[in-house]
Amino acid sequence: MFESSLVVKNYMEVCVQDTMKVVLPRMRACQCEHCYSDTMAIALNDLPPRYIVTQRGELYSKLSKLRQQFDVDIVSAVTKAIVIVERAPRH
């Protein structure tokens, strides 16, 4: 295998992480490591992956247009995931 400066990344992970930073505190949800990880996994399983190929360390600013299309779906998936985790927290 060869070493490349290109990275394959699921851009939806970045979007979900950014959304969780805003939504978790607003919903006063638990932000411990376990609940955070469970919430993220549930939300990501409810959303389609969006893989991109980018240079290592490249900013995702070019993808802001793509992000706008997903915002409503992401907020909905994160909110739903928070409710699920709050009903049965594993911490």
List CB contacts of 6: < 8 A, sequence separation 6 or more: 53, 54, 55, 56
* pLDDT value of position 47: 96
**Alpha helices, DSSP H only, in 1-91?**
11-26, 33-45, 64-87
Residue 64 predicted with pLDDT over 70 = no
Say what the pTM is: 0.83
Tens-digit pLDDT profile for residues 40-63: 999 999 999 988 887 765 655 556
Confidence of residue 66 (pLDDT cuts 50, 70, 90): low
Please state, for a pLDDT cut of 90, what percent of the chain lies above it.
59
Cα–Cα distances in Å, from 36 out to 16, 31, 50, 82? 11, 5, 21, 9
> How far is C-alpha 70 from the chain's CA centre?
11
